[in-house]
Amino acid sequence: MNSDADWASQAKQFQQELGTQWAQALNSFQQAATGTAPSAFPGLSFSPEKLGELQQAYLREASELWNQGLTERAAPADKRFANDAWSRNPVASFSAAVYLLNARTLLGLAEAVQADPKVKARLRFAVEQWMAASAPSNFLALNAEAQQKAVETRGESIARGVQNLLADLQQGYVSMTDESAFEVGRNVATTEGAVVFENDLFQLIEYKPLTKQVYERPFLVVPPCINKFYILDLQPENSVIRYLSEQGHRTFVVSWRNPDASMEDKGWDDYIEDAVLKAISVTQDIADAKQINALGFCVGGTLLGTALSVLAARKQKPVASATLLTTFLDFSDTGILDVFIDDAFVKFREMQMGKGGLLKGQELASTFSFLRPNDLVWNYVVGNYLKGETPPPFDLLYWNSDSTNLPGPMYAWYLRNTYLENNLAQPGKCTVAGEKVDLGKVDIPIYIYGSREDHIVPIAGAYASTRHLTGKKRFVMGASGHIAGVINPPSKNKRSFWTNDKLPGTFDEWLKGAKEQPGSWWPDWSAWLKPHGGKQIAAPKSYGRGSKYKAIEPAPGRYVKAKA
């Protein structure tokens, strides 16, 4: 045990270090942001008023810390330091307080920078990543909670942590859940159905009707190709696919193939012509229907919107209505993802894989995880390695870890024509499958959903689609984020959603007139879909259609089981 004199000595050392913290922080901030020494580069300019306020606040709070020394203090609101072990350990508590002060100050410095919005966003993102990685909770020598657990378990937690680390090093990523608890087709993606068509890009799954009668227009779901489709069929109680079948829709779903070397030359045109458009025509053919209804989720919605534009250019209208869930068609407001995209980055990707190659699924997964580093990265580093814990089984996180590759040419086209140049939103600017893309020619009824707290497709970005599609539109906002907002079944009676029958020019204007409704948005969507389904007919008794489209294998099929 350390004596009071030892604590006092350590406190004095901390005080001396804090005395020079401000000048060092400003100097380091400039060097980190510019990548060069201030003498060789003029550096960043700051708002003098904000800089003065920050300096005063920093010195005031630092003085309070000095005066408190290593006395016991209340646990901070930050959940990383909320455990009692932190407040009971004076050094750990003090280190957490100093860290939080420095984090607030550095984020304040990022806000005080006088620069264009993109530069400020990149600085903010860099500081957030730096602060998330440098938290004292990430280090065993500073993490009081992990130290306490090591003592209580007589070192077993450390031994288990080393085992967890070695296992994760072998698999190549940080475990977020107990993956051994799940198996696709056994306890996730279990809705009954059969694969009725397949080609090099996708399998088409038809699901067993759950009603005696179905709508004459079948329903096709186009999920994102950067993830696996079973996010829409995790469990029976929260399955969008099962819900559609329960509402009387004859449901078909695109199951994307996990690309390997044989697909490394596939481009955006292939995904439109040979996948989305092919899935539409096969669904029509199997159901013997003049028109179908369709849904696109995330990138699946971008693919569907592009395909609808191609069909409009060809004077074809096989889709009676469409649903877009958390989808970008207009990429003018892409939120935090914009920090990654500039001309140099896109040119590098085009040089690297624009004519062939694969973007590895784990790279995509890591990128999305670091959008929320404390929750999706460091939380598991601390739990798995410092505390020796095994993350509990969670179907959503199992799906999140089940990554998919992307063909390089497809990915490079997508980067340039959406995030960088926003060409899809500009009539005639890009050509897909031999046709000029003009979203304004898509004049079918469309239901557009966005999630209020979505960090991947910000709500204003989802709303922007209303400015380009000319058919009758309905926009609905749900609570929560990109996934939790969408997967919100009525049976849970959770959250709420907002509606406004008017569609003004901006999302902020729409929100002013929106009314909050309790519970899930699914019934609102189901009511909107009903008149677009056509008349009721007898549900089919078998999958596919005759000898042309026979059941190939039971759902969920083998494509979704392939690992990246």
Instruction: Encode pLDDT of 391-438 as tens digits.
Output: 999 999 999 999 999 999 999 999 999 999 999 999 999 999 999 999
pLDDT at position 484? 94
* Tokens found for residue 100: 């939080």
HEC string for 60-105: HHHHHHHHHCCCCCCCCCCHHHCCHHHHHCHHHHHHHHHHHHHHHH
Q: Is the pLDDT of residue 367 over 80?
A: yes
Strands 435-436, 431-432: pairing is antiparallel
In single-letter form, the type of residue at position 343 comes to: D
Instruction: Encode pLDDT of 516-536 as tens digits.
Output: 999 999 999 999 999 999 999
Domain boundaries, the chain: 4-152, 193-360+405-561
Instruction: Encode pLDDT of 540-549 as tens digits.
Output: 999 999 999 9
Burial 197-221 (b: 16+ CB within 10 A, else e): bbeebbbbbbbbbbeeebbbbbbbb
Distance CA 463, CA 466 (A): 6
Residue 330 burial (10 A CB sphere; 0-12, 13-18, 19+): buried
Distance CA 564, CA 561 (A): 10
For residue 443, which of 327, 249, 291, 311 has the smallest C-alpha distance? Answer: 311
For residue 283, which of 351, 359, 202 has the smallest C-alpha distance? Answer: 202
pLDDT at position 464? 97
Cβ-proximal residues to 194 (8 Å cutoff; 6+ apart), any chain: 205, 206, 543, 544, 551, 552, 553, 554, 555
Going by pLDDT thresholds of 50, 70 and 90, the confidence category of residue 564 is confident
Instruction: Identify whether 298 is a catalytic site residue.
Output: yes
pLDDT at position 24? 52
Strands 319-325, 202-207: pairing is unpaired
119 or 265: which leads in pLDDT: 265
Gap between the terminal Cα atoms of the chain: 51
Say if CB 544 and CB 286 are below 8 A apart: yes
Instruction: Encode pLDDT of 315-337 as tens digits.
Output: 999 999 999 999 999 999 999 88
Distance CA 298, CA 172 (A): 26
* Tokens found for residue 263: 């697909």
pLDDT at position 71? 67
Distance CA 177, CA 397 (A): 6
pLDDT at position 9? 55
pLDDT cut 70: percent of the chain above it:
91
Say if CB 435 and CB 313 are below 8 A apart: yes
List 498's β-bridge partners, or say none. Answer: 477, 516
Identify the sign of the CA torsion 171, 173, 176, 182.
negative
Distance CA 160, CA 541 (A): 53
75 or 513: which leads in pLDDT: 513
Residue 131 is inside which H or E element, if any?
A: helix 117-133
Instruction: Encode pLDDT of 73-109 as tens digits.
Output: 666 888 999 999 998 888 888 899 989 999 999 999 8
Catalytic residue among 123, 176, 277, 298: 298
pLDDT, average across residues 115-137 = 90
Cβ-proximal residues to 140 (8 Å cutoff; 6+ apart), any chain: 146, 147, 150, 158, 386
Say if CB 298 and CB 326 are below 8 A apart: yes
Task: Write down the mean pLDDT value for the chain.
Answer: 90
Q: Which of 12-26, 189-203, 212-226 has the lowest mean pLDDT?
A: 12-26
Q: Which of 59-73, 94-108, 296-310, 441-455 has the lowest mean pLDDT?
A: 59-73
For residue 509, which of 467, 447, 552 has the smallest C-alpha distance? Answer: 467
Q: Is the pLDDT of residue 159 over 80?
A: yes
Say if CB 251 and CB 420 are below 8 A apart: no
Going by pLDDT thresholds of 50, 70 and 90, the confidence category of residue 43 is low
Q: Is the pLDDT of residue 140 over 90?
A: yes
Q: Is the pLDDT of residue 440 over 90?
A: yes
Cβ-proximal residues to 488 (8 Å cutoff; 6+ apart), any chain: 478, 479, 480, 494, 495, 520, 521, 522
Distance CA 497, CA 480 (A): 10
pLDDT at position 365? 86
pLDDT, average across residues 461-472 = 96
pLDDT at position 369? 87
* Tokens found for residue 117: 């919005």
Distance CA 136, CA 301 (A): 41
Q: What is the DSSP letter of 378?
A: I
Cβ-proximal residues to 2 (8 Å cutoff; 6+ apart), any chain: 10
Strands (E), 440-529: 446-451, 473-478, 496-499, 515-518
Strands (E), 257-353: 292-297, 319-325
Q: Is the pLDDT of residue 72 over 80?
A: no
- What is 193-360+405-561's CATH number? 3.40.50.1820
Strands (E), 288-340: 292-297, 319-325
